[in-house]
Amino acid sequence: MHKVNALRTLLEDERQMILNGDFRDLPALTKAKEDALSQLGESSATQKQLAELQTIAARNQSLLTAAANGIRSARKRLEAIRDRDQGIKTYTRTGASRILSRKPSSFEKRA
């Protein structure tokens, strides 16, 4: 039972790290989870306990997937903003690529 609780605690710690966006400490937690899993094989965990641990691990995996998708989406958005300032890549009728750049505004603000 102690080994099951130890792994459950690690999985809950992992969940909190993901929810807090504290990803830099996750690799260290991976080693601790591997050790706990290897010790779990030597314990007398019940099917119910193992199923609960599997559910918690699957939830964490879903959170990690969502976080990765969010990071990818943010990166794409930042790239789009950066590229917008450099111009928009389009194609001519012949298929040649062309950059349409933004012309600076000639409008002048005065106080």
User: Could you tell me the residue range of the domain that residue 15 belongs to?
Assistant: 2-86
What does the pLDDT read at residue 80?
76
Residue 33 lies in a domain: yes
Give me the percent of the chain exceeding a pLDDT of 70: 86
**pLDDT tens for each residue of 48-87:** 999 999 999 999 999 999 999 999 999 988 887 776 666 6
Sorting pLDDT into bands at 50, 70 and 90, what band is 27?
Answer: very high
Sequence-separated (6 or more) residues with CB below 8 Å from residue 100: 87, 88, 89, 90
pTM of the model: 0.69
Give strand pairing partners of 97. Answer: 91
Q: Beta strands of the chain (E only): which ranges?
A: 88-91, 97-100
Q: Has residue 108 been placed in a domain?
A: no
Rounded CA separation 111/100 (Å): 32
Q: Say how many domains are in the chain.
A: 1
Report the pLDDT value the prediction gives residue 40, as an integer from 0 to 100. Answer: 83
Q: Is the dihedral of CA 40, 45, 51, 56 positive or negative?
A: negative
Give residues with Cβ within 8 angstroms of 94, minimum separation 6: none
